[in-house]
Structure 1
């Protein structure tokens, strides 16, 4: 009888699962769901039916087939940023700074030469996010729920959490560079160096000061009008809770709750994105961002998350090796403004 190696020409076939597929090997035919998102290493212990907390609790048949879990806070920067698909890790983008110079001339005047536009190159730092959980074949066969689909969902959730954190505060070393890791200065647009974000100080360390509504209005108006179309606030839940309690001098709330589920609540007329990875209000913290992130932050990702189901390398375990290559950085430093809770 031919062996598996002989039938495949000596090579062991290991299917790479990309996106989503139907797992015909399982009796229930569960969908192996789509995965992804980026950031850092995820560690999961090997599942077995021998020890309780490593998977054994799931083996008895008298068990609820749906596993409850605590929901992780995921930063939704991907939803407001500019996301591009790339073919390699060497992605580059050119940006003109200041536009193309122009001039005026009379009808009979010979036009003079104008200055050459200035270009800046954007190269988002990229890194590979991976997860490599394992489950024993007995666990896959006997568990009262679809272990493979559950692992796929866990990987997707962890990838989303990790990349969300990187888009806000990533170091740029083997991962995206978060917008809070960009250099900052109080100088206005046209004066700051390209790639440096402008911050506005509240005037009080760790607080909004005497007129918090004025500080927020100054932040909004510091963003030039072309970028205010499509702009949004970004802050965490703690900062948002404080801002929702703020009132103007005549007693009106700055926060405008939504009367329709399809319409988001607004702050000074702009939507608020709640990002768990933004810092809490503290002395010299940068806890509120306002800007057009579609124009200001670039996410570059290499195809979809890939998952290799590997039952051969670590018998009797089945490894699920998932990878995702993603990068990110500020692409237009004039499109994002920061509120710094500092005296100056």
Structure 2
């Protein structure tokens, strides 16, 4: 008896062993669980494979400028706490046989960055997912990274700390110096004019640089948006030398007064009372805490014929060392 070979139905086709995630994205079929998340597997929650998650992280670092210069730590739970000391241990001089009175003890403070759940919910038609020539992983990583980077960029600069990171521009500010300023309060220097830079803007920027103590200036950078940078690029010293210097090598940032300039479009434009320029060592000054995995939920039912991919990630952030970041305020004082 002859055996009739029939083509396999599309729903019964076999995915390759290395295409488990592609199979999940295209058809919802899961051949291999890559990692665990807070959502159970049978409810549809699975972690993004390491390869895709790594691509998301690289794109995030490239698009979100504060992430690229801040201190990023990976946590295993939704909360993160860090102890910091608010002062050193004073010492004293004494004669060989003199009494040694007790010295003051350092004071500890708890640093708790506000955290929130960052999410993206891109969609694609099932027909597009069925297209064998379509790179599902690259599309999904790019969509999620773009959405995450846009939200992160705004939160790390101006987030209010309610179910999201607390941006460094929302911290309390004062003109007091480091030795007299309260913990968590950033120092600002005025620009010299109510709605613009005053006379000798190069000197104002030099004052901003040197208001940061020498240990922090190693690895410091300017942060501003493109409009502010365009204005500063026109500034020159008294002898006609431009303050801004273009990059001399591919991949290296341009410099202002010898320090790299990071463009963050969420920084405010030059306007009255705006904190338009930041200068500091963000590796020491700003802390980003995040969960290591990006969880993804495939939803083919809510918006037929589209398939939605609901991705979430826990991210938090706050100022870690208020002496490591200085601001310039557009004001006379």
Shorter-chain TM-score bucket reads 0.7 to 0.9
Residue 341 (structure 1) aligned with residue 309 (structure 2): no
- Superposed CA deviations along residues 100-158 of structure 1, whole A, max 9, x for unmatched, are 22111222222211001011211000000112233332332259643553233111111
Q: Which runs of 4+ in 1 moved over 3 A?
A: 11-15, 31-34, 36-39, 142-149, 310-317
Match of 2:253 among 264, 267, 279: 264
Match of 1:16 among 16, 21, 46: 46
Partner of 2:202: 213
CA RMSD of aligned residues (A): 2.5
Partner of 2:319: 330
Partner of 2:308: 319
SS at match of 2:268: coil
8 Å Cα contact 1:184-1:199 kept in structure 2 = yes
CA gap 1:328/1:207 in 2 versus in 1, 3 angstroms: same
8 Å Cα contact 1:300-1:326 kept in structure 2 = yes
Match of 2:192 among 183, 203, 217: 203
CA gap 1:228/1:20 in 2 versus in 1, 3 angstroms: same
8 Å Cα contact 1:33-1:152 kept in structure 2 = no
8 Å Cα contact 2:188-2:329 kept in structure 1 = yes
Structure 2: 5+ residue runs without aligned partners? 1-40
Residue 98 (structure 1) aligned with residue 128 (structure 2): no
CA gap 1:102/1:324 in 2 versus in 1, 3 angstroms: same
Structure 1: 5+ residue runs without aligned partners? 1-10, 22-30, 40-72
CA gap 1:91/1:107 in 2 versus in 1, 3 angstroms: same
Match of 1:121 among 104, 107, 110: 110
Distance in 2 of aligned mates of 1:220 and 1:108: 46
Partner of 2:231: 242
Compute the displacement of 1:18 (Å).
1.9
TM-score by length of 1: 0.78
Aligned residues between the structures: 292
Greater mean alpha carbon deviation, residues 212-221 or residues 314-323: 314-323
8 Å Cα contact 2:53-2:293 kept in structure 1 = no
